[in-house]
Amino acid sequence: MIGAIVLAAGAASRFGSPKQLLFLPYVLERLRGAPVGQIVVVAGAHAIEASETLSLDGVSVVTATDWAVGPGASLRCGLAALSAEAEAALVILADGPFLDPRAIDRVLAHRQDAPFIAASYDGIRSHPALLARSIWDAIPNDGGRDLDVLLIPCEDLTPPGDIDTPDLWNPPEA
């Protein structure tokens, strides 16, 4: 079984408000069609609760109390929340509302090729990423940035985004 982790713990200080709450509906909509057995959203600086615009049906929310240590702390919190049956974790960022489900399919298609796999767009490593259980204990505080990774080309797809300021936000078309 593949579990999915959505990292949504950051302070969103450059955005000026909890952008996770704005972007999560888009991210979860795209993720819900993926072949994953469990979805965990990792909160931290801001609480994440269901609302009129955010359905958390079928989603577990956990809070990384040490989120400020770095993205690795949030990732480790999400990994710890996954079921013992999870053989790998699909990692998605909450500030990537343009996530293309085909990128998920491509990354998952290579899950036997390496313990750490990530989509790349024009040669730049991004998300989704897939972590085999065998490396979960090796996640440093900066996340997977320094781990060896197999890049899966997704140049023909729209990158998921990394929306850090309000001027970069244009909601995806439904």
Residue-wise pLDDT tens digits, 35-68: 999 999 999 999 999 999 999 999 999 999 999 8
How far from 35 is each of 50, 69, 108, CA to CA, in Å? 23, 31, 9
Return the CATH number at 57. Answer: 3.90.550.10
Do the domain assignments include residue 130?
A: yes
Q: What mean pLDDT, rounded, does the chain reach?
A: 92
Do the domain assignments include residue 174?
A: no
* Higher-confidence position of 153 and 140: 153
For residue 172, pLDDT beyond 80: no
Tokens 């940035």 -> residue? 145
Tens digits of per-residue pLDDT, 64-73?
Answer: 999 988 889 9
Do the domain assignments include residue 114?
A: yes
Dihedral sign, Cα of residue 56, residue 15, residue 160, residue 146:
negative
pLDDT band at residue 118 using 50, 70 and 90 as cut-offs: very high
pLDDT band at residue 154 using 50, 70 and 90 as cut-offs: very high
Burial classification of residue 130, based on how many CB atoms lie within 10 Å of its CB (0-12 exposed, 13-18 middle, 19 or more buried): buried
161 Cβ partners below 8 Å, 6+ apart?
95, 96, 97, 98, 99, 168
Percent of the chain clearing pLDDT 90 (strictly above): 76
Count up the domains in the chain and report the number. 1
Do the domain assignments include residue 52?
A: yes
For residue 174, pLDDT beyond 70: no
- Token code pair at residue 68: 């400020």
Beta strand 116-121 with 124-132 is: antiparallel
